[in-house]
């Protein structure tokens, strides 16, 4: 009897095929797991970004933040005294508004634009501390001159010097952030950095109103000189060097002349970690910030942020005169009405800051990008644009809506309480946009915090100057309601440029990276620095 053996062979072949498939799948999974483990291990083995504790980093950022507050405080502190100052110097309010934005004129553009770039370049070469101390010294001298001057020309020249010195401290704040904080924590810590920048606009008008009403407008500049001296002593006493090419993760000892008084008297015994040192900058390059703006992604993000800042600066600058004209408020009352700006901005640390960090981690999980705490990772394979701008877009639309509401509430002289609520909301969501966009720019330019800060300062100040100078004549012609609507309209009309970064930015970065890699392969001698 013949037994048919073909029928059982087919199932055996299927079983064998399935076993081979399962074996291959298991091998692939094992290789994938091994690759992921190796990648995770390589990330874990990297030196920590900062050996300083969270408390130490927060304290350093707080000092940097309040030193940067000199810049907006120098402007907003005498907002309540604009009318008085114009009367005493026999000039128009529009001319005094030019002293708020003195860098608008060509000669002043040079000072305001170049001073932070020079400060950034020197801080990259010699350290953050010495540049902070020099900038604050110049600022004190300028405020002394402003307190003693008696004519409009002197006011403009000294305001130029004052704004140049204070602009440097803003650029340095970004550098300190880059020195200390990794990408996944930037939302929360960026809020600390912006604290001083928003406290200046918040408390400046209140302090300026009190001083101007009871002691005269000169007292404002005496106060600013004392404030600059206080921050000078803070940096001299407590602020330790953070430049990574000098101190690495924070435990490499700096030069003896570059140590804070606390470090000198406490005689810290630092355990050096040379592996954490960044590459030493050779020479001073004051054009580094211009080179950053030559990158199309940096340029678009910076310019859109500057456009937002220009509109926001306009809102703040006309708030004082509108309250005086429409509600008959005194200088002290005007100063108190600026408090919602500060409170709203401060609370963004817990609203926008946490949301930005949460979305960074959420997007990383979606893209399979592993995050290791306190390690600065290579973001070239991570679509960071989506992680940051996903949060920015809704806050931009909210800012537009609140600015329009602010304009029309003021236009119809509604109860001041409704205006103050809207002002609070504007400050909160606008600061969130500022944090998200600044975090994105830091992510795109790792290790270039000082030059980036100078580039951001340059674009923001120029837009802010134009906005502040144009807003009063525009309101006189079409009213504050239509002016606010036009401002929001410009923001919405230019938003597609930012969406281009959201949709194409990662593709641009990958293409640039591949082109750079190919160039190194084709020119190995140039890449290795061989003659």
- What is the structure's pLDDT at 202? 64
Neighbours of 266 (CB within 10 A): 10
- Range 16-41 average pLDDT: 43
Q: What is the pLDDT of residue 283?
A: 56
C-alpha to C-alpha distance for 136 and 168, rounded to whole angstroms = 9
* Greater model confidence, 23 or 72: 72
d(CA 109, CA 207): 28
CA dihedral 29, 34, 35, 41 (to 10 degrees): 150
- Provide the token pair at 368: 């399979």
Cα-based distances in Å from 150 to 90, 156, 210, 348: 11, 11, 21, 41
At 138 the pLDDT is 92
Return the structure tokens found at 316: 């703040």
3-state secondary structure of 507: helix
DSSP 457: H
433: tokens are 């946009």
Helix axes 416-444, 186-215, angle to 10 degrees: 140
pLDDT per residue as tens digits for the range 462-475: 787 777 778 888 99
Most trustworthy range by pLDDT among 98-102, 168-172, 230-234, 450-454: 230-234
Q: Are 52 and 242 in contact (CB under 8 A)?
A: no
Contacts of residue 62, Cβ cutoff 8 Å, sequence gap at least 6: 192, 195, 196
- Nearest CA to 437 among 190, 180, 117? 190
The pLDDT, as a whole number, for residue 62 is 84
Closest CA to 149 of 163, 139, 159: 159
Q: What angle do CA 381, 385, 388 make, to 5 degrees?
A: 120
Query: Distance of CA 282 to CAs 122, 125, 237, 245, 397, Å?
Result: 11, 7, 28, 11, 44
pLDDT of residue 531: 40
Q: Is the predicted pLDDT of residue 492 greater than 90, yes or no?
A: yes
Q: Is the pLDDT of residue 25 over 50?
A: no
* End-to-end C-alpha distance for the chain, whole angstroms: 86
From 20, 26, 115, 92, select the one nearest 453 (Cα to Cα).
Answer: 115
pLDDT tens, 284-301?
676 788 889 999 999 999
C-alpha 385/C-alpha 364 separation (Å) is 12
Q: How far apart are CA 144 and CA 228, in angstroms?
A: 11
- Residues 6+ positions from 85 with CB-CB distance below 8 Å: 78, 96, 217
Q: What is the mean pLDDT of residues 141-169?
A: 85
User: Regarding predicted confidence, which is higher, 505 or 199?
Assistant: 505
**Whole-angstrom Cα Rg for the chain:** 27
Q: Whole-number mean pLDDT of the chain?
A: 79
Assign 501 a pLDDT band (cuts: 50, 70, 90): very high
Check residues 476 and 84 and name the one with the higher pLDDT: 476
In the predicted structure, residue 4 carries a pLDDT above the cut 70: no
Residue-wise pLDDT tens digits, 360-394: 889 888 988 887 776 767 787 889 999 999 999 99
Alpha helix ranges (H) inside 371-415: 384-411
Q: Is the dihedral of CA 44, 46, 50, 52 positive or negative?
A: positive
Over residues 186-199, mean pLDDT: 74
Indicate the pLDDT class of residue 272, thresholds 50, 70 and 90.
Answer: low
Instruction: Give me the residue label for tokens 């304290």.
Output: 59
What pLDDT, on a 0 to 100 scale, did the predictor assign at position 8? 39
Region 504-514: mean pLDDT is 89
| Averaged pLDDT, 52-75 | 83
Mean per-residue pLDDT, 406-422: 94
pLDDT band at 440 (very low <50, low <70, confident <90, very high): very high
- Whole-number Cα distances in Å, 237 to 60, 189, 230, 264: 12, 23, 11, 9
Output the six-digit token pair for 279: 């590459």
Matching residue, tokens 């006309």: 318
CA 59 to each of CA 64, 176, 197: distance values in angstroms, whole numbers, following the listed order: 9, 12, 16
Return the SS3 of 273: coil
- Report how far residue 164's alpha carbon sits from residue 136's, in angstroms, rounded to the nearest whole number: 11
Q: Quickly count: other Cβ atoms within 10 Å of residue 2's Cβ.
A: 4
Report residue 273's pLDDT band, with 50, 70 and 90 as the boundaries: low
Sign of CA dihedral 357, 361, 363, 367: positive
- Please compute, for residue 202, the number of CA atoms within 13 A of its CA located in the half-sphere on the CB side: 24
Region class of 529: left (phi > 0), else alpha (psi between -120 and 50), else beta: left
Residue 508 vs residue 99, higher pLDDT: 508
Tell me if 116 sits within 8 A of 453, measured CB to CB: yes
What pLDDT shows up at residue 420? 95
Q: How far apart are CA 253 and CA 218, in angstroms?
A: 43
| Mean pLDDT confidence for 147-169 | 83
Q: Which domains does the chain have, with CATH numbers?
A: 49-275+283-509 (1.20.1250.20)
E strand intervals along 235-326? none
Beta carbons within 10 angstroms of residue 414's beta carbon: 13
Give the burial string for 220-232 (b: 16+ CB within 10 Å, else e).
Answer: bbbbbbebbeebb
């Amino acid at each position: 009897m013949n037994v048919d053996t073909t029928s059982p062979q087919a199932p055996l072949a299927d079983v064998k095929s399935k076993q081979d498939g399962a074996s291959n799948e298991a091998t692939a999974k094992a290789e994938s797991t091994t690759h992921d483990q190796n990648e995770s291990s390589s990330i874990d083995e990297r030196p920590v970004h900062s050996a300083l504790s969270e408390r130490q980093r927060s304290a350093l950022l707080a000092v940097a933040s309040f030193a940067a507050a000199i810049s907006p405080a120098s402007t907003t502190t005498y907002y309540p005294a604009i009318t008085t100052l114009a009367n005493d110097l026999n000039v128009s309010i529009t001319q005094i508004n030019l002293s708020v934005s003195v860098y608008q004129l060509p000669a002043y553009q040079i000072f305001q634009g170049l001073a932070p770039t020079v400060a950034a370049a020197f801080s990259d070469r010699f350290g953050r501390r010495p540049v902070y101390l020099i900038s604050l010294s110049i600022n004190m001298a300028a405020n002394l001159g402003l307190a003693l001057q008696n004519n409009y020309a002197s006011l403009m020249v000294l305001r130029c010097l004052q704004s140049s010195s204070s602009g440097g401290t803003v650029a340095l704040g970004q550098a300190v952030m880059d020195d200390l904080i990794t990408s996944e924590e930037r939302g929360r810590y960026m809020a600390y950095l912006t604290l001083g920048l928003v406290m200046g606009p918040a408390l400046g008008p209140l302090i300026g109103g009190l001083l101007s009403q009871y002691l005269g407008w000169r007292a404002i500049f005496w106060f600013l000189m004392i404030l600059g001296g206080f921050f000078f002593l803070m940096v001299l006493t407590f602020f330790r060097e953070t430049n990574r090419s000098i101190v690495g993760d924070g435990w490499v000892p700096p030069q003896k002349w570059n140590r804070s008084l606390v470090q000198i008297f406490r005689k810290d015994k630092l355990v050096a970690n040379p592996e954490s040192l960044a590459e030493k900058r050779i020479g001073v390059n004051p054009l580094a910030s211009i080179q950053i703006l030559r990158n199309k992604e940096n340029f678009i993000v910076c310019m859109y942020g500057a456009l937002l800042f220009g509109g926001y600066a306009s809102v703040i600058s006309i708030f004082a005169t509108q309250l005086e004209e429409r509600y008959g408020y005194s200088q002290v009352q005007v100063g108190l009405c600026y408090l919602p700006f500060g409170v709203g901005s401060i609370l963004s640390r817990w609203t926008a800051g946490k949301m930005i960090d949460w979305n960074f981690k959420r997007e990383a999980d979606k893209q399979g990008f592993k995050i290791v705490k306190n390690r600065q990772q290579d973001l070239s394979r991570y679509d960071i644009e989506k992680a940051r701008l996903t949060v920015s877009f809704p806050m931009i639309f909210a800012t537009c809506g609140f600015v329009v509401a602010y304009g029309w509430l003021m236009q119809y002289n509604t109860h001041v309480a409704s205006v103050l609520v809207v002002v609070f909301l504007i400050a909160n969501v606008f600061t969130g946009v500022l944090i998200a966009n600044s975090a994105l720019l830091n992510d795109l330019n790792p290790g270039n915090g000082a030059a980036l800060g100078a580039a951001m300062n340059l674009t923001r100040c120029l837009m802010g100057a134009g906005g502040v100078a144009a807003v009063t004549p525009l309101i006189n012609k079409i009213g504050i309601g239509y002016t606010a609507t036009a401002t929001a309209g410009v923001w919405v009309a230019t938003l597609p440029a930012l969406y281009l970064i959201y949709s194409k930015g990662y593709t641009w970065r990958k293409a640039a990276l591949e082109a750079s890699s190919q160039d190194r392969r084709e020119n190995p001698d140039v890449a290795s620095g061989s003659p």
